[in-house]
């Protein structure tokens, strides 16, 4: 921890490991022990967490006991410390708040299958990371915990909703952190903090037993990483063909996951926001640089966009979000034995909850049918184009408070329950308008169920990172990883130490 870098309001510290795979190898060879790894990570968290606010809870005693007593022989990540996201990643006997004051003292009765899979891979869970309330935002700023600062610039947010996970990994607290992505929540913070962020295909990662179709399959668990091999090894360890799941995906073989690209790819790209918002010059520069490298590798790159209306896609996404939120809170109210009030949650959450109350089932069914239509269109698109390239985010990480609501909009949101469905959805659009303008590229992959990856390939002149996003056909994470490996082999994966 002696090499501590605090530059221009940023905070980063080079760790003793290269990545999670390196740490697992050191443990397996006896160069270090699980206990030493856990103690180092906890020490780093205690030292760096105050300015970053990335970690909201530690389970130090439990982790140390596991490190001392568990046999990690033969496990791919045996003895490696890991942080869970404090949302939708339940661990038996541990509080998972979801960033909400409703659940600050509520422990989980059982562990989710995703968490069990992480433990089976050898990880030692040491704590939980900061999230926005119920994961609704593309920044992390839960009222009960406060905002997550960006390791590259403390006055900026790390992104959301996996912002705490991103800040923890990017700063060097831990080698890897669990995350989830329902509209870009892995890829957005990856872009803002110079990490690799893979959102796997719908059906690729374990789901259940508490929920089998998070946000109708839009939400997928995975992790934020610093290397392609960590991303690949984790996917190989976690991928399932889960027959009780509503979405089933074939497994990728070891050979497929480790194969290299042996032919020129045909890659489509767009530098235009699908909702017509501004894309910064820096984001376009990152894209141009990426295209030049792809062409240097011999790939064909064409400016082509899928024939999907970005406005309609996002309108349907907000309807889904409203309905699923209303259903979630009805279940919570039943469990609490009382009606919920605005005092139980943040204003934006309350507005989404109210917006979903009167949406008709037939209209919701139409939205989900549209999702299938978009998915079919993208499948056809990928019969021609191997990959689809865009910026990950339209600009760099926002300043704390930059995406805040105006007083007038706050007053309107308080009256959401009195609006018609159409009026309510228009207000939801306005509520998220600034956020969507910053991150308009990621939601398509969630709705269609495709895999997408954000690669950290660019720094602005001001020293802030930006990622680019590649989307592939369903089940083709192998293609994304193979291309990412080409970037990494040419030293073009710009990790968190690139500016030191």
Report, as residue numbers or ranges, the catalytic residues. Answer: 85, 161, 185
Q: CA nearest 101: which of 350, 427, 318?
A: 350
How far lies 251's CA from each of 178, 237, 266, 369, 477, in Å? 21, 11, 24, 26, 10
Q: CA nearest 130: which of 94, 92, 81, 97?
A: 97
Q: How many CB atoms lie within 10 A of CB 418?
A: 9
Determine if residue 159 is left, alpha or beta; phi over 0 gives left, psi from -120 to 50 gives alpha, anything else beta.
Answer: left
Q: Which residues contact 133 (CB under 8 A, 6 or more apart)?
A: 98, 99, 100, 142, 143, 144, 345, 346, 348, 349
Do 291 and 389 touch, CB atoms closer than 8 A?
yes
Q: How many CB atoms lie within 10 A of CB 212?
A: 14
Distance CA 359, CA 227 (A): 43
Is 285 exposed, middle or buried, given 0-12, 13-18 or 19+ CB atoms closer than 10 A? Answer: middle
Q: How many CB atoms lie within 10 A of CB 73?
A: 8
- The terminus-to-terminus CA distance of the chain in angstroms comes to 15
């Amino acid at each position: 921890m002696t090499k501590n870098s605090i530059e221009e309001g940023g905070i980063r510290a080079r760790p003793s490991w290269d990545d999670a795979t390196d740490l697992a190898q050191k443990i397996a060879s006896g160069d270090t022990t699980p206990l030493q790894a856990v103690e180092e990570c906890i020490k780093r968290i205690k030292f760096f967490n105050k300015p970053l606010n990335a970690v909201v809870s530690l389970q130090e005693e439990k982790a140390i006991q596991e490190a001392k007593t568990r046999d990690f022989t033969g496990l791919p990540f045996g003895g490696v410390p890991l942080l869970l996201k404090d949302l939708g990643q339940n661990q038996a006997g541990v509080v998972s708040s979801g960033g909400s004051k409703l659940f600050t003292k509520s422990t989980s009765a059982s562990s989710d299958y995703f968490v069990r899979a992480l433990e089976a891979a050898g990880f030692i869970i040491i704590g939980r990371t900061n999230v926005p309330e119920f994961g609704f935002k593309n920044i992390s700023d839960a009222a009960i915990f406060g905002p997550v600062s960006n390791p590259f610039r403390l006055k900026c947010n790390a992104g959301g909703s996996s912002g705490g996970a991103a800040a923890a990994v990017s700063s060097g607290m831990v080698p890897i952190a669990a995350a989830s992505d329902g509209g870009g929540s892995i890829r957005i913070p990856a872009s803002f903090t110079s990490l690799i962020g893979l959102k796997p295909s719908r059906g690729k990662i374990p789901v259940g037993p508490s929920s089998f179709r998070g946000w109708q399959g839009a939400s997928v668990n995975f992790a934020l990483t610093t290397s392609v091999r960590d991303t690949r090894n984790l996917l190989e360890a976690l991928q399932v063909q889960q027959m009780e799941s509503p979405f089933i995906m074939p497994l990728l073989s070891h050979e497929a996951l480790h194969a290299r690209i042996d032919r020129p790819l045909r890659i489509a790209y767009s530098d235009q926001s699908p909702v017509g918002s501004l894309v910064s010059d820096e984001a376009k520069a990152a894209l141009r640089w990426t295209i030049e490298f792809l062409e240097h590798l011999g790939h064909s790159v064409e400016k082509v966009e899928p024939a999907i209306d970005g406005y309609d896609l996002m309108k349907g996404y907000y309807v889904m979000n409203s309905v699923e939120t209303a259903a979630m809170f009805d279940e919570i109210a039943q469990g609490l034995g009382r009606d919920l009030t605005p005092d139980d949650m943040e204003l934006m959450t309350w507005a989404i909850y109210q917006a979903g109350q009167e949406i008709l089932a037939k209209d919701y069914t139409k939205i989900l049918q549209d999702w299938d239509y978009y998915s079919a269109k993208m499948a056809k698109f990928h019969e021609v184009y191997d990959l689809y390239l865009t910026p990950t985010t339209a600009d760099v990480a926002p300043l704390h408070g930059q995406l805040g609501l105006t007083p007038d909009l706050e007053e309107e949101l308080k009256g959401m329950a009195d609006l018609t469905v159409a009026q309510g959805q228009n207000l939801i659009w306005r509520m998220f308008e600034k956020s969507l303008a910053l991150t308009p590229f990621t939601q398509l992959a969630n709705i269609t169920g495709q895999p997408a990856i954000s690669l950290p390939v660019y720094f602005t002149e001001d020293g802030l990172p930006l990622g680019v996003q590649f989307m592939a056909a369903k089940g083709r994470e192998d293609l994304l990883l193979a291309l990412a490996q080409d970037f990494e082999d040419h030293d073009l994966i710009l990790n968190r130490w690139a500016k030191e």
